[in-house]
Amino acid sequence: MNIKEYRTQFIQELTPIYDAGEAESFFYLILEEKQQLKRIDLALHPDLVFSEEEIGVWNAILKQLKHEIPIQYLLGKTSFYGLDFEVNAAVLIPRPETEELVEWILESQKPKVESQKVKILDIGTGSGCIAISLAKNLPDATVFALDVSEDALATAKINAANNLVNVTFIHQNILETVDLLQQFDIIISNPPYVRNLEKEEIKKNVLENEPHLALFVADNDALVFYKKIAQLAQKNLLPNGQLYFEINQYLGKEMVDLLEKMNFKTVELRKDIYGNDRMTKASFS
């Protein structure tokens, strides 16, 4: 079949579920990954065709997309902060808002002299996207990444190797941790923060496919991870160190109150590109 003809059919079959622009973007992502072809190739060679075997592969992916399996899981990869990451059902798919958190951290390091080495800990690393992006952009940093999921850590280790960075990975349940045993210049976490009452706002493709362990917290203790990590930061953050969180957009005030009550002297709340309260930065100085 002519590829341009299949493209029309592909988009038409997906538009009851996705908008046409998103369906088209899926087509070109798959085209590049499975056929090593780009949009310009179809424009320059309109008579390109799929073999029967290739159509079989495409139809299998199309069927899964109709069941709202995330395209990133189907392709086994995604892009984050200019780097490629393997993703699977053991890890969350990195979001653009988290890229903003990485950018904020990197901005904070610019005034420092290049020779100053920083020690960084990423708690709840998942795919490793935060830790690896920081290690890539701060080559003199010493980066650690912790997660409760062994499967997530296995994926993160692959991503670190693929992106040619050195990250020390730790298998640990942060809620059961009494002391981190060393001090850090930067502690970051994007922990579970979606309350069960907010499940109705979550898209089906996320709710039915991404790991709930990394997403949800109890309605009556929504800040459980933040409290624990902030407690550890009181002991394990260096005097001029910084604590960064990605947060629930509905709990910005609560997060600021929590950190101020825990004696963080400088607390900053920042909105994401969509205008939602999304991240905090705190320090003892």
- pLDDT > 90 fraction of the chain, expressed in percent and rounded: 85
Residue range 113-138, pLDDT digits in tens: 555 689 999 999 999 999 999 999 99
pLDDT of residue 1: 86
pLDDT of residue 75: 95
DSSP H or E stretch at residue 184: strand 184-189
Contact of 105 with 244, CB cutoff 8 Å: yes
pLDDT of residue 13: 96
202: confidence class by pLDDT, cuts 50, 70, 90: confident
pLDDT of residue 95: 93
pLDDT of residue 116: 67
> Domain locations in the chain?
3-67, 90-283
Indicate whether 97 pLDDT > 90: yes
pLDDT of residue 271: 97
Considering all CA atoms of the chain, what is the largest pairwise distance in Å, rounded to the nearest integer? 67
Q: Work out the angle at residue 14's Cα, subtended by the Cα atoms of residues 11 and 18, and round it to the nearest 5 degrees.
A: 110
Range 35-58 average pLDDT: 93
Tokens coding 196: 């069960």
Average pLDDT, the chain: 94
Residue of 256, 253, 250 lying closest to 281 (CA atoms) = 256
pLDDT of residue 285: 84
- Nearest-Å Rg of the Cα atoms of the chain is 21
Tokens coding 112: 């420092």
Tokens coding 169: 């990975």
First to last CA, the chain: 65
Indicate the pTM of the whole model.
Answer: 0.91
Q: Is 230 exposed, middle or buried (0-12, 13-18, 19+ CB in 10 A)?
A: buried
Contact of 232 with 179, CB cutoff 8 Å: yes
Distance CA 143, CA 154 (A): 17
Range 41-53 average pLDDT: 91
Tell me the C-alpha to C-alpha distance, in Å, between residue 120 and each of 60, 131, 139, 223, 257. 42, 8, 12, 22, 25
Q: Label the pairing between strands 77-80 and 83-86.
A: antiparallel
111: confidence class by pLDDT, cuts 50, 70, 90: confident
pLDDT of residue 113: 58
Residue of 135, 110, 181 lying closest to 144 (CA atoms) = 135
Residue with the bigger pLDDT between 199 and 137: it is 137
Contact of 51 with 61, CB cutoff 8 Å: no
Q: Work out the angle at residue 155's Cα, subtended by the Cα atoms of residues 86 and 105, and round it to the nearest 5 degrees.
A: 80
Amino acid at 243: L
CA 270 to chain centre: 18
Q: Which of 33-42, 168-177, 198-207, 217-226 has the lowest mean pLDDT?
A: 198-207
CATH, range 90-283 = 3.40.50.150
Residue range 217-251, pLDDT digits in tens: 999 999 999 999 999 999 999 999 999 999 999 99
Range 8-34 average pLDDT: 94
pLDDT of residue 28: 95
